[in-house]
Amino acid sequence: MIPAAISDYRELARRRLPRLLFDYIDGGSYAEATLRRNVEDFEDLALRQRVLRDVSRISLTTELFGQPLSMPVLLAPVGMAGMYARRGEVQAAKAAKAAGVPFCLSTVGVCDLDEVAAGAGVAPWFQLYMIRDRGYMAELLARAKGLGCPVLVFTVDLPVPGARYRDMRTGLFGGAPSLTGGLKRAWDGITHPNWLLDVQMGGKPHVFGNLAAAIPEAKGMAEFWPWVTKNFDPSLTWKDLDWIRTHWDGPIVIKGILDPEDAREAVRVGADGIIVSNHGGRQLDGVLSGVRALPPIADAVGDDLTILMDGGVRSGLDVVKALALGAKACLVGRPWAWALGARGEAGVAHVLQILRQEMTMAMALTGCTDVRQADQSLLVR
């Protein structure tokens, strides 16, 4: 298959990756209603076509927290990306740098902060999951700060992990009996030889790089995951932002906001930005999609901080729709993860090219020549 759209990369990733890894990227929590809603609610929004508007010059450039972007798109934090392609986070970060957009590294990435910064030649944004060991969290923040990470993304919608039934069925998190799960995983790898050679054999070490020093006895993902899930801190409150501020003096963006009152609270505690997000439909099933939650949040706090959004973005047209509803930029997760799993850095670069081309077309046919001027007039209301 010659990929033309982001959906093509989903199919290519499905073919190349072992099922347990594809399902980890592709799946959501419980019945996956929110996962579907994220996409369907974008599809339900109609762009307003305008003609004869002089669209000979279209600008996609914007700025976030003093950082210039070639277009209002970021690569969202995605866990375990180094299991989709050899040292996958580095490959994705290199593609992002070449495209002029930020890459955000997950706390639970395979590659750590130092490897990504060195490999890409630029420090990534860093996404923080708060674990119980505050001493180690302070060390991790100090590393991010020392490397020059420009923005801290603090994920707040995971006090406890959502139940992801696909992962239980494949045995990724020990949901299957040990013997059965081991045999299934072995067969899954053997029947995907390209992945086996590239990642399983050539992409080691398979650890959560940013957490490796906290769990030195863990040797592989099977040993890391139980520790990680047990060490998420369910006692977090808004007051913990004060602790983070003592260790981080750069911009803080709170990820996982779906309610206007929580958005107002983010303003009150001094956040620089928020990401309207339901964790890609991977946490509480049945909640609003990001794009449905976006307008009332933009109305409530749009003048007070920077609003980003993620969840369900599958095209450049979706990005334009989100900008029209009040977002300053969109984070994309599954699109780049699928592309990475299918074709590595080249796939991620192509997905970013697709998004750019689709955005340019959508801007031209809605008569908008600058993404910073996008508003609700671009939509049929």
pLDDT level of residue 178 (50, 70, 90 thresholds): low
- pLDDT > 90 fraction of the chain, expressed in percent and rounded: 83
Can you tell me the distance from the alpha carbon of 14 to that of 8, in angstroms, rounded to the nearest whole number? 10
Which tens digit of pLDDT belongs to each residue from 231-273? Answer: 788 899 999 999 999 999 999 999 999 999 999 999 999 999 9
In a domain, 266, yes or no: yes
Handedness of CA 355, 360, 366, 368 (dihedral sign): positive
18-37: average pLDDT: 96
User: In this structure, what token pair is assigned to residue 270?
Assistant: 């001094």
In a domain, 217, yes or no: no
Has residue 228 got a pLDDT over 90? no
User: Do you find a cis peptide bond into 193, omega within 30 degrees of 0?
Assistant: no
Task: Give the pLDDT score at 244.
Answer: 96
In a domain, 189, yes or no: no
* Average pLDDT of every residue of the chain: 94
Q: Give the burial string for 211-245 (b: 16+ CB within 10 Å, else e).
A: beebbeebeebbebbeebeebeeeeeeeebbeebe
In a domain, 216, yes or no: no
Task: Give the pLDDT score at 186.
Answer: 84
Greatest alpha-carbon span in the chain:
66
Has residue 176 got a pLDDT over 60? no
Which CATH number do you get for residue 128?
Answer: 3.20.20.70
Which tens digit of pLDDT belongs to each residue from 50-71? Answer: 999 999 999 999 999 999 999 9
- pLDDT > 70 fraction of the chain, expressed in percent and rounded: 97
In a 10 Å sphere around its CB, with 0-12 CB exposed, 13-18 middle and 19+ buried, how is residue 202 labelled? Answer: exposed
Known active-site residue 350: no
Has residue 125 got a pLDDT over 60? yes
pLDDT level of residue 360 (50, 70, 90 thresholds): very high
The residue assigned the tokens 């929590």 is 29
In a domain, 172, yes or no: no
Task: Give the pLDDT score at 174.
Answer: 57
In a domain, 179, yes or no: no
Q: 3-class SS at 330?
A: strand
Which tens digit of pLDDT belongs to each residue from 126-137? Answer: 999 988 889 999
In a domain, 369, yes or no: yes
Which tens digit of pLDDT belongs to each residue from 101-120? Answer: 999 999 999 999 999 999 99
Structural domains in the chain (count): 1
Task: Give the pLDDT score at 346.
Answer: 98
Task: Give the pLDDT score at 257.
Answer: 98
pLDDT level of residue 195 (50, 70, 90 thresholds): very high
Has residue 173 got a pLDDT over 70? no
Which tens digit of pLDDT belongs to each residue from 276-329? Answer: 999 999 999 999 999 999 999 999 999 999 999 999 999 999 999 999 999 999
Has residue 218 got a pLDDT over 80? no
**Residue 143 CA neighbour count, 13 Å, CB half:** 21
The secondary structure of residue 29, as a DSSP letter, is S
Which pTM value belongs to this model?
A: 0.96
User: In this structure, what token pair is assigned to residue 356?
Assistant: 């750019």
Has residue 74 got a pLDDT over 70? yes
In a domain, 177, yes or no: no
Has residue 355 got a pLDDT over 90? yes
Task: Give the pLDDT score at 177.
Answer: 54
In this structure, are residues 278 and 156 in contact, taking their beta carbons and an 8 Å threshold? no
Containing structural domain, residue 18? 6-165+228-378
Among 206, 247, 279, 350, the active-site one is 279
